[in-house]
Structure 1
Amino acid sequence: MFFIDTIELEGLGNRHYLAGGTRTAVAVDPPRDFDQVLAAAARRGVRITHVVETHIHNDYVTGGLELARVTGAAYLVPAGAHVSFARVPVADGDTVTVDAGLTLRAVATPGHTPHHTAYVLQEQGTPVAAFTGGSLLIGTVGRPDLVEPRLTEELARAQHASAHRLATELPDETAVLPTHGFGSFCSSAQAEGEATTIGHEKAANAALTTDVDTFVAALLDGLDDIPAYYAHMGPANASGPAPLDLTPPAVADAREIAARLAAGEWVVDLRNRVAFAEGHVAGTFNFEADGKIATYLAWMIPWGKPVTLLADSPGQLADAQRELVRVGIDRPAAAATGAPEDWTVDGALASFPRSTFAGLAERGTDGVVVLDVRRASERAGGHIAGSVHIPVHELHGRLGDIPAGTVWVHCAGGMRAGMAASLLDAAGRDVVAVDDGFDAAAEAGLAVVAA
């Protein structure tokens, strides 16, 4: 008998796996904070003997090297990946024994990266699951443009070939267990469902239902923006990430917070966007702890700039710190918990109004700036006539591109509009955060036009 446990990290949109038998197990693409992997092994009563990477990851810092060190496991990394640490290089066709009657076979699946490798779990020689990393995903594939622009089309064609290889070599009932596709920008689209098999993908995945030229053209046409911090993830993983440190940051009082703001550092308020709009320390930015904080803060902050975190509670602070180490923001410069009044020297707070698309329609768009901070791919599906478009991840560097006047800022649902509103407020602009779903814009009578 075998088991497969899924460890899901919703913030980054990835899944990681622990698979094994009665005594031993393998960890697949483990996150930087691998305590959940160890906990899963403890619940199963198994020892982790192997840690495997499907590729050098572009969207998060791996915990594989440190997990292997802690457990004494063999660390398997594709042979073609250039790394600066000792590991077991894996080539196409290599097999390892996971437990009695349970083996793992490496299958070269280039496309997401040149060295990408999937691993097929076999019970008594019969494939039961394929850990496909960033190759064959649920209804889609991993994007091929994260390594080198000149390789993008070549890797897209390789993705098509790799998907067909898996579909040809594996039985239809084989479970497909990808790392990406659940919100990660490493995926070329989002997962269509929660589970899948080779047979289902043969019928539903464009990589397996269209010819290579059609597939490649559509894939390249649909590629979205790449988070800026991705440029730092591959090098960090190739050099060997340092062990993480989740001890609480130094506590900052109101005077230190003011001094850090005056020095141009980022002070980030983790509270929800409603509370932030009602009252916050002037000059702070709002990245909700319950949102995709790791993705958007790492995307937007100048890399390496000190960041101070302000939180409702120690628990909220600890959760955010854990999210951030996954993308290489290792140690906040300082932190504070409590209420915003505690974070200011004089207790004075800044605020800005929130509204809806109905509120904007009632006010009218004449005389105000409607700012759309969605990505270009989202705006292509329709936008408010006359609106200014600056994706939220570009906003900090393009504040000067926003016309004069009160800014009504919106996104698709409200979270990114809250981030953007905080940046605008910190820059001294009059801003209204539209906290509403974009479908409500047309329903409210606003003119929504196609791109």
Structure 2
Amino acid sequence: MAAVDLVPLVDEGLGNSAYLVDLGDGRALVVDVSVDLRATREVARRRGLKLAFAADTHLHADFLSGARQLASTEGTQILASAAGHREFAHTGLRDEDEVDLGGLRLRVLATPGHTHEHVSFLLLDGQTPVGVFTGGSLIVGGAARTDLVSLDRTEELARQQYASLQRLSMLADEVEVWPTHGAGSFCSAPPGADRTSTIGREKATNPLLRADSEDAFVDALLGSLGSFPPYFLRLGGVNRQGPDVFEDPALRALDVAAARALLAEGARMVDVRPVPEFAAAHVPGAISIPLRPVFASWLGWLAPHDRPLIVLRGAGQDPAEVAWQAAKIGYSNLAGEVAGGLDAWIAAGHPMASTRLVHAEEMNGEQVLDIRQTAEFAGGHLPGAVHIELGEVADRAEELTREPTVVMCGHGERAMGAASLLEQAGHRDLAVLEGGPDDWARVTGRSLETGV
């Protein structure tokens, strides 16, 4: 098997991998890169590479593609499925088309399922298949979800996904598998540390490849589908039309008066500080979304995309990271950040709020609201806990008719986001549990319940 100089570019927050292939002649191919091109460009700069080709396996729903940005700024050639009908300049490719990369070649394999126009790219060295960029088709231990194009096509696409995985399984066992979606992705990647694999390993271990019939495959795949952020339903269309080309995003400074004026006109405040800081003091009505690797997903789940957002951050937090995380999911609506942060807000004499943090041993019969994903809740939760997923809290806040309430997740970050949404909806006697269900069980000596 020929060796290929491939660099995975992992986005731990979105649970995705892009890839850079050094073509050995001063040029590179990149696959499934987002508009947050910082890591891609740094690798290219370090190696002295021109980003000559950008291939997209499908119309991404969970991030804005960076291909058009590269084409505009660096003259990169975009390679994508002709069936995607992208509305900007690109090389439209069909099944079995090949692209000469200068020694290496890409062969297009139509693999619909995750999306209707999905393709995989088989990388060949001469006549030898080396690896295959499978996007959201065959992934490590599974296959990506099929309900993002339209709900009424979910089963149809699941059956196409079955055929696509069968096609990929016909490749030689030693062929490397380089998927885009991995653990942590809301595109239905199963948990696990490995982000790449081989055809042989997947044939031996992937339960979907071992399904004994198409119907069994469809039942297993559709049975694994959880919820996903609402922006997933918009970004495929944006990526088809072509994301806007922009300068590096940044947060402009807003004085307190300007921020308050925007809030009065319907803007929302997103507080990105760590949970303990938000708990101690925050602006009433602010949404708590701590800045961490998964910030983008929860921003896209909890904050509106169609009204201005005002950021409030801590002094040690990087404003560029906030701006880039928002940009990669198409949130171009950041109006700016409060200059001077919370200290400036307090100095101006405006009202403040706080939220209690409690340890397991301090709980005393309060209603418990568990806001984790359904699969997490089913795996083990406090006896009698109410379950509402975080993404549904704002719409279902009126279902909580009893207080006091302790809100919980796995560590506290998502729970504080839920508490901030409940506070906004008028709930007042709220607390957030520090830690998760396993911490509670260890401290109390009680058993968790399972199932839903």
TM-score, normalised relative to structure 1: 0.93
Q: Is the 8 A contact 1:424 1:430 kept in 2?
A: no
Alpha-carbon distance, 1:42 to partner: 2.5
User: Equivalent of 2:84, from 74, 81, 86?
Assistant: 81
Alpha-carbon distance, 1:311 to partner: 1.2
Aligned to 2:313: 311
CA distance, structure 1, for counterparts of residue 254 and residue 50 of structure 2: 42
Q: Is the 8 A contact 1:271 1:311 kept in 2?
A: yes
Q: More displaced, 183-192 or 404-413?
A: 183-192
* Residue 280 in structure 1 maps to residue 278 in structure 2: no
Alpha-carbon distance, 1:247 to partner: 4.2
User: Equivalent of 2:126, from 124, 127, 148?
Assistant: 124
User: Equivalent of 1:346, from 341, 346, 349?
Assistant: 349
Aligned to 1:267: 269
Alpha-carbon distance, 1:208 to partner: 1.6
CA offsets per residue over residues 393-422 of structure 1, 9 Å max, x none?
111222222113221001122221121122
* Residue 332 in structure 1 maps to residue 353 in structure 2: no
Q: Is the 8 A contact 1:413 1:435 kept in 2?
A: yes
CA distance, structure 1, for counterparts of residue 178 and residue 274 of structure 2: 33
Aligned to 2:184: 183
CA distance, structure 2, for counterparts of residue 149 and residue 343 of structure 1: 45
User: Which letter does structure 1 place at the counterpart of 2:371?
Assistant: V
CA distance, structure 1, for counterparts of residue 199 and residue 314 of structure 2: 45
Q: More displaced, 284-293 or 439-448?
A: 439-448
Q: More displaced, 262-271 or 236-245?
A: 262-271
Alpha-carbon distance, 1:143 to partner: 0.7
What secondary structure, in the 3-state scheme, does the structure 1 residue paired with 2:329 have? coil
| Structure 1: runs of 5 or more not aligned | none
Q: Is the 8 A contact 1:118 1:130 kept in 2?
A: yes
Q: How many residues in Structure 1 have an aligned counterpart in Structure 2?
A: 444
User: Which letter does structure 2 place at the counterpart of 1:187?
Assistant: S
Alpha-carbon distance, 1:347 to partner: 6.3
What secondary structure, in the 3-state scheme, does the structure 1 residue paired with 2:92 have? strand
Matches within 5 A, 1:350-429: 350-360=353-363, 363=364, 365=365, 368-426=366-424, 427-429=426-428
Alpha-carbon distance, 1:102 to partner: 1.0
Structure-2 change in CA distance of 1:173 and 1:359 (3 Å) = farther
CA distance, structure 1, for counterparts of residue 261 and residue 72 of structure 2: 41
Q: More displaced, 207-216 or 258-267?
A: 258-267
User: Which letter does structure 1 place at the counterpart of 2:223?
Assistant: D
Q: Is the 8 A contact 2:315 2:341 kept in 1?
A: no
CA distance, structure 2, for counterparts of residue 316 and residue 446 of structure 1: 41
CA distance, structure 2, for counterparts of residue 208 and residue 405 of structure 1: 48
What secondary structure, in the 3-state scheme, does the structure 2 residue paired with 1:400 have? helix
CA distance, structure 1, for counterparts of residue 195 and residue 345 of structure 2: 42
CA RMSD of aligned residues (A): 2.0
What secondary structure, in the 3-state scheme, does the structure 2 residue paired with 1:218 have? helix
CA distance, structure 2, for counterparts of residue 96 and residue 27 of structure 1: 14
User: Which letter does structure 2 place at the counterpart of 1:60?
Assistant: F
Alpha-carbon distance, 1:348 to partner: 5.4
What secondary structure, in the 3-state scheme, does the structure 2 residue paired with 1:209 have? coil
What secondary structure, in the 3-state scheme, does the structure 1 residue paired with 2:273 have? coil
CA distance, structure 2, for counterparts of residue 35 and residue 318 of structure 1: 11
Alpha-carbon distance, 1:353 to partner: 1.4
Aligned to 1:200: 201
What secondary structure, in the 3-state scheme, does the structure 2 residue paired with 1:206 have? coil
CA offsets per residue over residues 99-129 of structure 1, 9 Å max, x none?
3x21111111111111110111111221111
What secondary structure, in the 3-state scheme, does the structure 1 residue paired with 2:312 have? strand
| Structure 2: runs of 5 or more not aligned | none
TM-score, normalised relative to structure 2: 0.93
CA distance, structure 2, for counterparts of residue 356 and residue 167 of structure 1: 50
User: Which letter does structure 2 place at the counterpart of 1:64?
Assistant: A
Q: Is the 8 A contact 2:123 2:132 kept in 1?
A: yes
CA distance, structure 2, for counterparts of residue 315 and residue 416 of structure 1: 19
User: Which letter does structure 2 place at the counterpart of 1:128?
Assistant: V
* Residue 44 in structure 1 maps to residue 43 in structure 2: no
What secondary structure, in the 3-state scheme, does the structure 1 residue paired with 2:334 have? coil
Deviation beyond 4 Å, 4+ runs, structure 1: none
What secondary structure, in the 3-state scheme, does the structure 1 residue paired with 2:122 have? strand
CA distance, structure 1, for counterparts of residue 291 and residue 437 of structure 2: 22
Structure-2 change in CA distance of 1:95 and 1:20 (3 Å) = farther
Aligned to 1:448: 448
What secondary structure, in the 3-state scheme, does the structure 1 residue paired with 2:130 have? strand
Structure-2 change in CA distance of 1:50 and 1:71 (3 Å) = same
* Residue 228 in structure 1 maps to residue 257 in structure 2: no
Alpha-carbon distance, 1:219 to partner: 1.2
What secondary structure, in the 3-state scheme, does the structure 2 residue paired with 1:290 have? coil
Q: Is the 8 A contact 2:139 2:182 kept in 1?
A: yes
User: Which letter does structure 2 place at the counterpart of 1:228?
Assistant: P
Matches within 5 A, 1:246-257: 246-257=248-259
CA distance, structure 1, for counterparts of residue 395 and residue 267 of structure 2: 15
CA distance, structure 1, for counterparts of residue 317 and residue 439 of structure 2: 34
Q: Is the 8 A contact 1:171 1:198 kept in 2?
A: yes
What secondary structure, in the 3-state scheme, does the structure 2 residue paired with 1:33 have? coil
CA distance, structure 1, for counterparts of residue 324 and residue 359 of structure 2: 33
User: Which letter does structure 1 place at the counterpart of 2:12?
Assistant: E
CA distance, structure 1, for counterparts of residue 349 and residue 406 of structure 2: 29
